[in-house]
Amino acid sequence: MLEKIKSIKAEVEAFQPKTIEDIENFRIKYLSKKGSISALFDDFKTVPAELKKEIGKELNILKQAALEKINTLKAALEIDEKSEIKVDLTRPGDPQNLGSRHPISIVRSEIISIFTRLGFIVTDGPEIEDDAHNFGMLNFPEDHPARDMQDTFFISPGLNILLRTHTSSVQAHEMSEIKPPIRSLSPGRVYRNEAISARANCFFHQIEGLYVDENVSFADLKQTLDYFAKEMFGESAQIRMRPSYFPFTEPSAEVDVSCTLCGGSGCNVCKGTGWLEILGCGMVDPNVFKSCGIDPEKYTGFAFGMGIERIAMLKYGIRDLRLFFENDLRFLNQFSSDV
């Protein structure tokens, strides 16, 4: 008899109904007058007196378990069935507000995708730098004004630990850590000790590019930037280069793009000149190669750097840099993008 109780107990435990009807059939099978558990109670009369205590206990446990199972399963299924009735499948869904990407992120992705098509790869570096990577290896003289506390945020002046002032520092890491050919792009946040205004902030974002190989020429640089300007600002965009100075490039140039608003005829955005400055660039100075352990007799290279905010301002016609950092939803909601 104990065997029988055991096997019915296993059946009860394994039972999984799909409908209320299944539960009713289960009840009939085990607990109705002719059900198998009820039959066990009938047989109980024949159990020898000395076993009655043990078997009676097991039998009661089994009956209790079957009843409990029926009750809980029934309750669960009833809730399900009721709630199904309540769901109106024709009701329109609740609208979900989609977020939008920050304009700086949108423009950064766009710039990256233009240069990755030319084979540049994205590299990353620390925002907290040492003097060597931010200045020294990049050929900044000891008395260069950028090394002054007025222009640079020093975290620990004695140890010369600072917040990077440009992402050229990533290129100093690259050049001293890997061998040419190098074709890299370093986007990131940079810091300068500037008064906050419509045109300047104490931090902003840059993307710098570096190409080092044998026979890299100024013409390659110009072609690359011309391609970038056309991809970024449209087929009709022109660039021009003006001689300039950076400690880490020689020769150096500043690059203007034909005004994105008037197309070059002159307006108040380009102050009547027809041109807008977008970036700095040049051929990597041999001194930089030397301090990074690259042979300047064998390799040449170009570098360029631009402010992402500046490109975004030109692209979207934004007049005040501070809007990018205030996180005013009325401003941010105007941007949407699939990049």
103, 187, 282, 301: which one contacts ligand PHE (CB under 6 A)? 282
Residue 281 touches ligand PHE, criterion: CB under 6 A = yes
Side chain identity at 238, as an amino acid letter?
Q
Residue 300 touches ligand PHE, criterion: CB under 6 A = no
C-alpha span between 224 and 232 (Å, rounded): 12
Closest separation in Å from C-beta 209 to ligand PHE: 8
Place of tokens 């009713």: 24
Residue 280 touches ligand PHE, criterion: CB under 6 A = yes
Residue 168 touches ligand PHE, criterion: CB under 6 A = yes
Query: Euclidean distance between the first and final Cα of the chain, in Å?
Result: 72
Residue 304 touches ligand PHE, criterion: CB under 6 A = yes
Residue 249 touches ligand PHE, criterion: CB under 6 A = yes
Residue 208 touches ligand PHE, criterion: CB under 6 A = yes
Which H/E stretch holds residue 16?
none
Residue 204 touches ligand PHE, criterion: CB under 6 A = no
135, 246, 275, 324: which one contacts ligand PHE (CB under 6 A)? 246
Helices 2-14 and 49-86: angle between axes, nearest 10 degrees: 10
Greatest extent of the chain over all pairs of C-alpha atoms, in Å: 114
The residue (of 187 and 282) whose beta carbon lies closer to ligand PHE is: 282
12, 288, 303, 313: which one contacts ligand PHE (CB under 6 A)? 303
Residue 187 touches ligand PHE, criterion: CB under 6 A = no
**Nearest Cα to Cα of residue 305 among 184, 223, 178, 131:** 184
C-alpha span between 77 and 72 (Å, rounded): 9
Beta carbons of 183 and 196 less than 8 angstroms apart: no
Calculate the alpha carbon distances from 58 to 30, 65, 288 in Å: 15, 11, 88
Give Cα 102 to chain centroid, integer Å: 12
Region near ligand PHE per CB under 6 A, out of 60-68, 181-189, 274-282, 312-320: 274-282
The residue (of 69 and 173) whose beta carbon lies closer to ligand PHE is: 173
Residues at the site binding ligand PHE, with contacts judged by CB under 6 A: 166, 168, 208, 246, 249, 252, 280-282, 303-305
